[in-house]
Amino acid sequence: MMFRSPVSKSTINKIKRLKPKAVIRGNIGKTHAFGSSVFILALFVCVIFHEFGHALTAKRYNIQTKDVTVYPIGGVATLESMPRKPKQELMVAFAGPAVNIVIAAALWIYMQLSATMPVWTVLKNVDHMQTESFVFNLFVANIILAVFNLIPAFPMDGGRVLRALLAFKMDRSKATRIAAEVGQFLAILLVFLGFFFNFWLVFIGLFIYLGAIAKLLMKLHTAYWKAMMFEKC
């Protein structure tokens, strides 16, 4: 007596042909996940270097750093105080983005020497960037970090750079107020653009807006207590 398999030979052959492809896809998926993890780790290291740029520059002016906190969207170097002189504050504020610019420049030189620099048109399509090299994506990420942090709005480094530049021509309190108001305007603009282009801009705008308000309130609070102490004297 002969028994026939319920699955035909053609179906079995198809399964045999599909199996290696499934294994290849699985290996590619694991490789992609590993590469993404390494990229995120490298990006965090760049953020740490960014914050140490602030800390080490502040140390030159005898200002200590309490701690350095790294978040998924960036980091914060908590200084004991900001330099009172405009030139010193300008140097401390610009030091962080300058580190990212130096890293990007080093990666660019490496890609030029190794002939691995892709065509710039790849930046027009984010999907194409996913297929680019680890070094190129890290290069682009550092440029974005530098440009993003130089937005002239509190609590970004660019807001402190703007205040330092204004403080060359006016008193620090007025410079802080103007820089905070510029930050609020840019934050509202980002929120508006976020509804039409990328919703992440809404969160970034809210982050900047709340930071600008907090900085302005802190300055007003300090000015109030200074006035009270002056009246008592």
Residues annotated as catalytic (active site), given as ranges = 51
- Measured CA to CA, the distance from residue 9 to residue 15 in angstroms comes to 10
List, in order, residues 6 or more apart from 46 with CB less than 8 Å away. Answer: 100, 103, 138, 141, 142, 145
3-state secondary structure of 230: helix
- Measured CA to CA, the distance from residue 100 to residue 160 in angstroms comes to 17
Measure the CA dihedral 191/149/182/210, to 10°: 60
- Measured CA to CA, the distance from residue 92 to residue 110 in angstroms comes to 28
- Residue located via tokens 């200084």: 79
- The DSSP element (H or E) to which 229 belongs, if any, is helix 200-232
Q: Which amino acid is at 158?
A: G
User: What is the per-residue burial (b if ≥16 Cβ within 10 Å, else e) of 63-92?
Assistant: bebeebeeeeebbebebeebbeebebbbbb
- Measured CA to CA, the distance from residue 101 to residue 146 in angstroms comes to 6
227's tokens: 């006035």
- The DSSP element (H or E) to which 76 belongs, if any, is strand 74-79
